[in-house]
A = this chain, B = another copy of it.
Amino acid sequence: MGKKRGPKYDLIIEAAVRVIAEHGYHQAQVSKIAKEAGVADGTIYLYFKNKEDILISLFEEKMGRFVEKTKEQIEKENDPGEKLFRLIQMHFKQLAANYALAVVTQLELRQSNAELRLKINEVLKGYLQLIDVVLVDGKESGYFNANLDNRLVRQMIFGTLDEVVTNWVMKDGKYDLVSLAKPVQQMLVNGLTSINR
């Protein structure tokens, strides 16, 4: 790829996360990110095509590692229910471990324009495929209902996790997010129905 990596590349991305988390998307000027990274404004443009490219790269970097780590954990499990639990747990764990990043992905980056969010969605596909694998495996093993529409399931799982994390961020991370992994997994697996229906 054409990316110029290097120490300053990472420096700038980390600076962007901090600046956006602290000041918000619309107050995250390139000059502010440059200052936070300890480089000149112009230097940014030696590593990134434009401002949007910083944000996409940020998302790619973070989400790439996010997916990778989640995948590792899932592969340790055989049971579909456990795989789903790991996925949820990793989702919550990684964002809980980096509150600033959570603020950026759940709140701030959503203020970006439609075009940027389209590109962000591209990056998200890697994560959605992870969900798909868990789902298809679970269907094949007879654990998950084979009649379910894959796309809808994906939307339910991602929509739920996303909403849970967003609410947690909006409550300033005041409660324990990771401990919600189990009840959320059970809710997704069993649905709303009472056992004795």
Report which A residues bind B (CB closer than 8 A): 24-26, 84, 107-108, 110-114, 117-118, 121, 135, 138, 142-146, 148-149, 151-153, 155-156, 158-164, 167, 170, 180, 183-184, 187-197
Chain B nearest Cβ from A174, distance in angstroms: 13
Most chain B CB neighbours (cut-off 10 Å) among A135, A158, A194: A194
Shortest beta-carbon distance from A106 to chain B in Å = 11
Q: How many copies does the complex hold?
A: 4
B193:A156 contact, CB within 8 angstroms: no
Say whether B164 contacts A159, CB under 8 Å. yes
A197 to B114, Cβ gap below 8 A? no
A193: which B residues are within 8 A, CB to CB?
143-145, 189-191
Q: Which residue of B lies closest to A142 (CB)?
A: B194
A144 touches B194 (CB 8 A): yes
Q: How far is the CA of A144 from the CA of B190 in the complex (A)?
A: 11
User: Which of A146, A152, A191 has the most B CB atoms < 10 Å from its CB?
Assistant: A191
Q: What are 12 pairs between A and B in contact, CB < 8 Å?
A: A24-B114, A26-B113, A107-B117, A121-B170, A152-B164, A152-B183, A156-B163, A156-B164, A156-B188, A187-B191, A190-B193, A191-B192
Given A153-B192, A158-B163, decide whether A187 and B148 contact each other with a Cβ distance below 8 A: yes
Contacts of A111 in B (CB 8 A): 110-114
Q: Let me know if B160 and A180 touch, CB within 8 A.
A: no
CA distance A124 to B189 in the complex (A): 27
Which of the residues B107, B135, B146, B160 comes within 8 Å of A156, measured between beta carbons?
B160
**9 residue pairs, one from A and one from B, having the closest CB atoms:** A159-B163, A191-B191, A159-B159, A155-B163, A190-B191, A156-B160, A159-B160, A145-B194, A144-B192
